[in-house]
Amino acid sequence: MTTSDTSAPLVGPAPLVELDSVSKYYGNIRALEGVSLTVHAGEVSCVLGDNGAGKSTLIKIIAGLHRHDAGTFRIEGEETSLSNPRDALDRGIATVYQDLAVVPLMPVWRNFFLGSEPTKGAGPFKRLDVDRMRRTTREELLRMGIDLRDVDQPIGTLSGGERQCVAIARAVYFGAKVLVLDEPTAALGVKQSGVVLKYVAAARDAGLGVVLITHNPHHAYLVGDRFVLLKRGTMAGSHLREEIELDELTRQMAGGSELEELSHEMERAERK
């Protein structure tokens, strides 16, 4: 008679992306030092920090624009160092930057397939498959809950939030496993920010791992599962959602003890 060994720990799937004590230097300038980040399928990992905190450098490493100088970068458990953005895309990492790479006067469907246009016919009869692009764009946007009036309208006529959502739907359609969003709500009002966050949640629910770069703790807390706080290129905190409340996340993001010290200094100055 044999008994099964139940003492062995259960091992889940490897994170889609994992950075372990990653550092990046530009000469004598420390852009990042000892930063760790874990991205799981079906989760949103938020990276918070003010200007100069190192968020842009972190994006560039994940997107394949820059190589890290120290630490470990893994994709689905395999240690790697990306050579360029195409290498990142081939590994399933899509980055949507704040200044979206769109052609404002082109229709939505053309921007959706920009650089990856399907064709039909052969030889001298080869041409763009416009009907397929229109149909696919409409279907994919609807699948993400985006109901545009007309996919033939120039993408420049859409609101900033709608353009962000088209970029998210495009990344999902072209097979992204990891979606990196660079400050997607930074230039948007309250209503449009809510629209974008709704589609961030939709990408998460579709099984993608999402990296949300933001300086807004309220937006991060609405959709985030993990939070990494950066300050001057180093980690100022790392928390799971169940470990921290919004007020504490906001306090840490705002500087916490530094703000308290400043408040005391201001109080003394007023008394004088």
pLDDT tens, residue by residue, 115-131: 889 999 888 889 999 99
6-20, 73-87, 159-173, 231-245: lowest mean pLDDT where?
6-20
Structure tokens at 46: 């938020």
Coil vs helix vs strand at 234: strand
Closest by Cα among 46, 55, 53, 98 to 249: 46
- pLDDT of the residue at 98: 77
Closest by Cα among 28, 85, 32, 22 to 57: 32
Distance CA(102)–CA(218), nearest Å, equals: 28
- pLDDT of the residue at 164: 87
Distance CA(220)–CA(227), nearest Å, equals: 8
The amino acid at 46: C
Structure tokens at 271: 């008394």
Pairing of strands 44-48, 70-75: unpaired
65-69, 221-225, 254-258: lowest mean pLDDT where?
254-258
Coil vs helix vs strand at 104: coil
Distance CA(181)–CA(206), nearest Å, equals: 16
Angle at 100 between CA 99 and CA 105, to 5 degrees: 115
Distance CA(163)–CA(147), nearest Å, equals: 13
Structure tokens at 9: 């720990």
- pLDDT of the residue at 154: 94
Backbone angles phi, psi at 23, to 5 degrees: -130, 155
Average pLDDT over residues 101-125: 89
Q: CB under 8 Å to 231, separation ≥6 — which residues?
A: 49, 50, 53
Q: What domains are there in the chain, each with its CATH number?
A: 17-253 (3.40.50.300)
To which H or E segment does residue 23 belong?
strand 17-26
The pLDDT of residue 94 is above 70: yes
- pLDDT of the residue at 1: 46
Q: Mean pLDDT for the chain? A: 87
Distance CA(12)–CA(14), nearest Å, equals: 6
Structure tokens at 258: 């530094």
- The pLDDT tens digits of the residues spanning 182-205 come to 998 887 888 888 989 998 998 999
- pLDDT of the residue at 79: 94
Distance CA(208)–CA(175), nearest Å, equals: 10
- pLDDT of the residue at 115: 84
Structure tokens at 89: 């895309």
- pLDDT of the residue at 213: 94
- pLDDT of the residue at 2: 47
Residue for token pair 């998210």: 168
pTM assigned to the model: 0.84
The amino acid at 77: G
Coil vs helix vs strand at 218: helix
